[in-house]
Amino acid sequence: MVSEPVYANSNTDDSVDATISQCLVPEAPKSFFLYAGAGSGKTYSLVKALEAFEVSHGAKFRKSRRKIAVITYTNAACDEIVERVKGDPLFHISTIHSFCWLQIQSFHDDIRAWLSESLPDEIAELQRLEEKGKAGTQASITRQRSIVSKQERLDWLKQKREFTYSPNGDNIGKASLSHAEVLKICGDFVGTKPSFQQIVINRYPFILIDESQDTNKGLIEAFFKLEEAHHSTFSLGLIGDMMQRIYGDGKNDLGQGLPERWAKPVKLMNRRSPSRIIALANDIRSETDGQQQKVLEGKPDGLVRMFIAPSNKLDKPAFEDAVREKMFELTGDLLWQDRASVKHLMLEHMMAASRMGFSDMFTALSSSKRLTTALRSGDIPAVRLFSKQVLPLYQLQKSSSGTAVMNHLRRTKSPLLDKKALRSAADGEKNLNKLKVAIQDIQALIESNSSVSFLEVLRCVAEHSLFSIPQSLAPFIEKAVVVEDDSATEAPDETSEKVTTLDALQAFLETPFNQISAYDVYMSGLGPFDTHQGVKGLEFDRVLVAMDDGAAGGFLFSYEKLFDVKPLTKGDLENQSKGAETGIDRTRRLFYVTCTRAEQSLALVAYSDDPKALKDSVLGKGWFHDHEVEIAI
């Protein structure tokens, strides 16, 4: 039976805000774990606490050059908080990677020592896998290359070095630290070096971590050690909700077994969603921790509908268009007819790729296991050459913005603008003429026809030395004037691949270049389509969720198992018996996150091998009323 929503007034969580402020007292700091469910207004509470701190303690902190550190999950979340506190420098607001790099960036000797100790272990593990694996396979070749690369880096570390890192870009070359290395190094320093700990707490007597359930486990545990050692002068504030845990590297028991001295406030309200959506979210959550949210008085009822279609439906995008039309009829909201005004959430990137028009390139690249993670985060150097260098150049040139074109080329370090290449007036003029021809040729090639391939564009870039060419693309051109080492993007794999990285890149280069624009829009989060994981913390007036296990092609999530349409596997049952996490647990959390993104109305589109069984199951769970679930004819 669908649960009845419980209403409360806007002052319900005021005591929580007061508790946080009481923890942020320099003379008596207190650590806290704030449970803040979906739409609870955690950013509001965080900003309110910061504003209160500025009034009471800001002058003293500024005088001693101390700050409160606020660590958020995304750049967008950082920007939002910075705007709300009006850019006050009393608060250092950053992502976790930026924060970690800031703490370690001047400790070059310590970083070199850490790498010198860790690399031999990594090499030994690769050698163990190589001895165990089959010789002559692509996996073996990759392991051997990785061993050589790591050994070369180890030799390079014998001399005094300085290191670089970009939280938002490619990190290529021996001196560049990877994202994972920055987190590991910072975590190790925070957890084991008393002098480093003292430096951190002198800078930041308070560190507040939002979305702490998805923050790297090793780093969270290091902060716990820091807090344990210095809790009389340091406060750690964790804000999160385990039901909204998306990624696998977080601490899965966060919030359990906390010391008695910690405050543990709980926000009861959901201020974002209407009552019907909150009731659905509470019902979904009832199968886990039982946390139930209240509805803000005066909120409308809202509307939820589930539309079920056969898995083999031929034109799924057309069906989803029909669902949007039906939602317009039910809600009277004209914007349901406008695709761009509806946030479409997919289980997997491939589902979005087919709907946005970059499925060819995405399919080619995702055929290699080694590339899948970087592909889904937009971090493959071979792809970024086109998405972050060639595409913006073309767009700026097409808009006739000469100054912006030159700024872009300088920012991307075009070889044609290298200082050595421009060392004399004559050479400089010659190179600028080359640059003009190169830009014109790129524009003409891209506009010559819609089927121009990535390979054709790559060879044009290489011919003119317009941009640096990633090492992974060097085999596909006759001459690469500048080659960057991006071997670090290929992680060793114990098993042989049916499709090698080289094969995947070859297939990718043969697909149309014009797909890169849609891919870039998708990865930026600006398009109407996104994955469940990509919208954590965000909210939208209208949400359409497409649940299609077959099209997703994954094994970590399964809506049909969650809805009891498909039986659990042997592995699922074994994990359940051991109390370990299952695919159903992960899927239930994604379903919860999805539903709670909606501020007005929610459409759930489910594709199933057995539509009737799915409808019977969701009604049997008591998540929906009978009139809220439709089976497509």
pLDDT in tens, 509-550: 999 999 999 999 888 777 787 765 556 567 899 999 999 887
Residues 129 and 248 in one domain: no
Residues 62 and 193 in one domain: yes
- Tell me if 355 is assigned to some domain: no
Owning domain of residue 415: 360-520
More confident position, 259 or 149 = 259
Least confident of 174-178, 277-281, 419-423, 544-548: 419-423
**Cα(482)–Cα(462) distance, integer angstroms:** 9
The stretch 137-152 carries a mean pLDDT of 79
> Which residue type is seen at 119?
L
pLDDT in tens, 84-118: 999 999 999 999 999 999 999 999 999 999 999 99
- Tell me if 525 is assigned to some domain: no
- Tell me if 383 is assigned to some domain: yes
Q: Say how far residue 466 (Cα) sits from the centre of its chain.
A: 30
**Cα(457)–Cα(467) distance, integer angstroms:** 12
pLDDT of residue 375: 76
Q: Say how far residue 148 (Cα) sits from the centre of its chain.
A: 31
- Tell me if 1 is assigned to some domain: no
Residues 370 and 323 in one domain: no
Q: At what angle do helices 454-464 and 501-509 cross, to 10 degrees?
A: 90
Residues 588 and 605 in one domain: yes
Cβ-contact 254, 220 below 8 angstroms: yes
Residues 341 and 374 in one domain: no
The stretch 380-409 carries a mean pLDDT of 89
Least confident of 65-74, 202-211, 463-472, 549-558: 549-558
pLDDT in tens, 213-240: 888 889 999 999 999 999 999 999 999 8
Residues 93 and 209 in one domain: yes
pLDDT of residue 585: 87
Residues 453 and 557 in one domain: no
Show which of 253, 268, 283 is a domain's final residue.
268
Put simply, whether the predicted model's pTM sits higher than 0.85 gets the answer no
**Cα(78)–Cα(95) distance, integer angstroms:** 7
Half-sphere exposure of 353 (CA within 13 A, CB side): 19
Residue 54: pLDDT band with limits 50, 70, 90: very high
Residues 537 and 591 in one domain: yes
pLDDT of residue 308: 96
- Tell me if 4 is assigned to some domain: no
Q: How many domains does the chain have?
A: 4
More confident position, 304 or 290 = 304
Q: Number of helices (H) and strands (E) in the chain: give both, helices first.
A: 26, 17
Flag whether pLDDT at 564 surpasses 80.
Answer: yes
For 118, the token pair is 């860790």
Q: Where are the beta strands (DSSP E) in 277-316?
A: 294-296, 303-310
Residue 138: pLDDT band with limits 50, 70, 90: low
